[in-house]
Amino acid sequence: QITTNLDINNSNIYEIPKAALKSAATPKNSSEPLIFTWYPKPYNAEVYLFMHFAEIQTLEANETREFDVILKGNFNYSALNPPKLELFILYTDTPMKCDSGGCNLQLVRTPNSTLPPLINAFEAFSVIQFPQLETNLSDVAAIKNIKATYSLSKISWQGDPCLPQDFSWENLNCTYVDTSTPPRIISLNLSASGLTGTIAPSLQNLTQIQELDLSNNSLTGPVPAFLAKMKSLSLINLSGNNLSGSVPQSLLDREKQGLVLLHLDGNPKLCRFSSCDPKEKKGFLLVPVIASVASVLVLVVIIALFLIFRKKKVPSVTPPNVPVEDVGHSKQPEPSSFLSKKIRFTYFEVQEMTNNFQRVLGEGGFGIVYHGCVRGTQQVAVKLLSQSSSQGYKHFKAEVELLMRVHHINLVSLVGYCNEGDHLALIYEYMPNGDLKQHLSGKRGGFVLSWESRLRIAVDAALGLEYLHTGCKPPIVHRDIKSTNILVDERFQAKLADFGLSRSFPNGIETYVSTVVAGTPGYLDPEYYQTNWLTEKSDIYSFGIVLLEIITDRRIIDQSREKPHIVEWVELSIGKGDIGNIIDPKLHRDYDTGSVWKATELAMSCVNLASAKRPSMSQVVSDLKDCLISENSRTGESREMNSLSSIEFSMDVDTEMIPKAR
């Protein structure tokens, strides 16, 4: 390998990394060819190849570097002289297959050359066939217009919004019927995305969308009437903006009919009535209105005095100095103060959807979870509150209040609830692939989660928690982050669940004094346990414990170990300097070591005893994505490389300073 400190003139619009161009590979023996062998993945796939050449040495007058580029006999580019400090690119114009599924590229020195061949960099791209039709064109046009309207710069928003299915755009979901039916966009979550201006008219062109979340932005102007005409919409979240004017009556009518769940709180200038402008009232109405109000006030005062007089005769059944919400749930308040009636089910409907509570999914501290089916089509999980749970109603109320105002692709969504007499139930979306703990322990089919899959689950869960901390106004602390509260859907996308212990912080307040420490032993932040001061960093400690579970697949507390707690055990193992002592042995070293070390360092920073030294969730998300990129680089390239001189491709080559297509 040879190197230079000088910059290479690179007019390529794809900006090949400077560091890659400042070095070049040459054969160890200058008289031998430089050979690359590469096996396409999937096997026998068609490939495109891009090769980058630049002379980075100063040649003497009697020195020449000249070589032929040969692809296993079916391609020959003769007498290539790399330009000095200038990028020269050879690339395939059409995809080709190599013999027996393998490609062999040779750089062979010509008789006129005094120096061996070199190459600065090369890229090989396998052609992957997708039988699925591309996303519905009207949906594509609509989402691109929305992207342009709000100047969104999301990295993943490139190419087809829904395809490939594993790489669909972030913050939206699509429906996939079959390969002959174009996918459709069915949900869009742009919460806390820095949106400004009015609600984009292009949204109405997403004709199959079911859920729209534009909450916690800086949108202004009125609520558009076209939202009422979007018949597929069942959820609209516009809370936490600066919208103004009256909500269209047609939209309110759909809400009353239970056809759409509407979230409008946090818009002080927005009104749910047909007219919100007091200036429309005529002057001559002022006197009669004042007289009427005065009469009503007198009547209210008389009734209030009567009730106060009677109340003094009734002894209180609540101990003094105890907040009403702490008395338990034997006397439940009316639901109208905190629950929307639009997603409320009767107890009979709950019995019906669960087939009389036939299939149990699991059991928690507040009750049993059953499998159910709403209207015979939508699978759900029904958490039925146990009558013996003294704190149950408080957690039930907290969870419904939270889930009705937060919506994120990595948070389990609330389908509905039941509050009828002594019967309390929460109905969630069904997560068919269980929880993270089950997958780590092998209880879900016995297969071993790959390191890449573990990182993807960690990133998903981190994104959900980041949204609670930074995307909600006020911020929300989950308080019970653990591997059993990270659920996995049919696409193996992870979502946070169980918000019964969650707490919101008032605006401007970053800590909360908790009179009762809540959480799960082993995951509980020691600083929170000792001081009762609850902060977002308490969640980050718990998330760090989950990361250690993902890395090690060890029990959080194991008295048989020299160091019972997983944090202490990992600290001891790190001192030995071998990542194999820490990471789950079932992975059989099938992982990028750098990625594992980075994840381990991140986990240990999350569980720092001093909360101030723990990273933010935004930093956790960023670091985990870096870990995933490192692992993907290994699985996408390193497995196919035999040596520095051995890689593979297939081609018909044209020459230009810039490739035509990539």
Per-residue pLDDT reduced to its tens digit, 1-12: 899 988 888 776
Whole-number Å distance between alpha carbons of 409 and 482: 19
Per-residue pLDDT band for 287 (boundaries 50, 70, 90) equals: very low
Lowest-confidence pick of 127-141, 348-362, 377-391:
377-391
pLDDT confidence of residue 408: 87
pLDDT tens digits, one per residue of 129-163? 777 889 999 999 999 999 989 988 877 788 899 98
Q: What is the pTM of this model?
A: 0.48
What is the percent of the chain where pLDDT is above 90? 34
Tell me the average pLDDT across 603-616: 94
Q: Which of residues 277 and 14 earns the better pLDDT score?
A: 14
Q: Which residue from 428, 623, 473, 474 is spatially nearest to 540, judged by alpha carbons?
A: 623
For the chain, the structural domain boundaries read 2-129+646-656, 137-273, 334-429, 436-615
Q: Which of residues 43 and 158 earns the better pLDDT score?
A: 158
Q: At what angle do helices 617-636 and 593-606 cross, to 10 degrees?
A: 170
Tell me the average pLDDT across 290-311: 55
Per-range mean pLDDT, top range of 126-130, 326-330, 444-448: 126-130
Q: Which of residues 519 and 357 earns the better pLDDT score?
A: 357
> CB-based burial of residue 320 (10 Å sphere; 0-12 exposed, 13-18 middle, 19+ buried)?
exposed
Q: Which residue has the tokens 């969640």?
A: 539
Tell me the average pLDDT across 236-246: 92
Tokens of 175: 């429906």
**Do 644 and 605 form a contact (C-beta atoms < 8 A)?**
no
Whole-number Å distance between alpha carbons of 620 and 524: 18
| pLDDT at residue 26 is higher than 70 | yes
Q: Which residue has the tokens 């990595």?
A: 410
Q: Which helix (H) or strand (E) holds 145?
A: helix 137-149
pLDDT tens digits, one per residue of 458-467? 999 999 999 9
Assigned CATH topology for domain 2-129+646-656: Jelly Rolls (2.60.120)
Q: Which of residues 649 and 124 earns the better pLDDT score?
A: 124
Q: Which residue has the tokens 């009232």?
A: 281
| pLDDT at residue 223 is higher than 90 | yes
Whole-number Å distance between alpha carbons of 381 and 354: 9
Lowest-confidence pick of 32-36, 295-299, 364-368, 546-550:
295-299
The residues near 292 (Cβ < 8 Å, ≥ 6 apart) are: none
Indicate the DSSP class of residue 202: G
Tell me the average pLDDT across 492-518: 60
| pLDDT at residue 278 is higher than 70 | no
Pairing mode of beta strands 414-420, 476-477: unpaired
pLDDT tens digits, one per residue of 71-119? 865 567 889 999 999 888 888 777 877 776 578 889 999 999 999 999 9
Q: Which of residues 628 and 336 earns the better pLDDT score?
A: 628
- Give a three-class secondary structure readout of 458-481: HHHHHHHHHHHHHHCCCCEECCCC
Which one is the CATH code of 436-615: 3.40.640.10, 1.20.1530.20, 1.10.510.10, 3.30.1490.20?
A: 1.10.510.10
pLDDT confidence of residue 475: 85
Annotated binding site: 383
pLDDT tens digits, one per residue of 515-550? 344 678 889 898 887 887 888 999 999 999 999 999
Q: Which residue has the tokens 């190419």?
A: 159
Q: What are phi and psi for residue 556, nearest 5 degrees? A: -65, -45
Per-residue pLDDT band for 506 (boundaries 50, 70, 90) equals: very low
pLDDT confidence of residue 393: 66
The residues near 497 (Cβ < 8 Å, ≥ 6 apart) are: 411, 412, 428, 431, 435, 485, 486, 487
Return the CATH architecture of domain 334-429: 2-Layer Sandwich (3.30)
Q: What are phi and psi for residue 424, nearest 5 degrees? A: -125, 130
Q: Which helix (H) or strand (E) holds 270?
A: strand 269-271
pLDDT confidence of residue 317: 30
The residues near 295 (Cβ < 8 Å, ≥ 6 apart) are: none
Pairing mode of beta strands 196-197, 218-221: parallel
pLDDT tens digits, one per residue of 546-594? 999 999 999 898 877 777 889 998 988 887 766 678 899 888 888 888 8
pLDDT confidence of residue 307: 55
Tokens of 54: 């630049």
Is position 489 annotated as part of the catalytic site? Answer: no
Whole-number Å distance between alpha carbons of 467 and 233: 23
Per-residue pLDDT band for 388 (boundaries 50, 70, 90) equals: low
Q: Per DSSP, what are the bridge partners of residue 90?
A: 51, 655
**Do 448 and 586 form a contact (C-beta atoms < 8 A)?**
yes
pLDDT confidence of residue 645: 30
Q: Which of residues 387 and 90 earns the better pLDDT score?
A: 90
Tell me the average pLDDT across 200-226: 93
* Residue 191, helix vs strand vs coil: coil
Per-residue pLDDT band for 503 (boundaries 50, 70, 90) equals: low
**Do 584 and 599 form a contact (C-beta atoms < 8 A)?**
no
pLDDT tens digits, one per residue of 160-197? 999 888 788 988 999 988 888 899 999 999 988 889 99
| pLDDT at residue 37 is higher than 70 | yes
2-129+646-656 and 137-273 share one fold: no
pLDDT confidence of residue 368: 86
Annotated binding site for ATP: 383
Whole-number Å distance between alpha carbons of 483 and 439: 10
Q: Long-range pairs for 555-558 at CB < 8 Å and ≥24 separation?
A: 556/522, 556/523, 557/521, 557/522
pLDDT confidence of residue 237: 92
**Do 102 and 39 form a contact (C-beta atoms < 8 A)?**
yes
* Sign of the torsion formed by the C-alpha atoms of 88, 94, 97 and 99: negative
Q: Which residue from 239, 243, 237 is spatially nearest to 271, judged by alpha carbons?
A: 243
Q: What are phi and psi for residue 651, nearest 5 degrees? A: -170, 165
Q: What is the CA radius of gyration of the chain?
A: 31
> CB-based burial of residue 608 (10 Å sphere; 0-12 exposed, 13-18 middle, 19+ buried)?
middle
pLDDT tens digits, one per residue of 467-483? 999 888 778 888 889 99
Helices (H) and strands (E) in the chain, counts: 14, 30
Tell me the average pLDDT across 231-255: 91
Whole-number Å distance between alpha carbons of 525 and 548: 15
| pLDDT at residue 284 is higher than 60 | no
Q: Which residue from 30, 51, 17 is spatially nearest to 124, judged by alpha carbons?
A: 51
Which one is the CATH code of 137-273: 3.80.10.10, 3.30.420.60, 3.60.140.10, 3.20.20.70?
A: 3.80.10.10
Tell me the average pLDDT across 414-443: 86
Q: Catalytic residue among 139, 435, 460, 480, which?
A: 480
Average pLDDT, the chain: 79
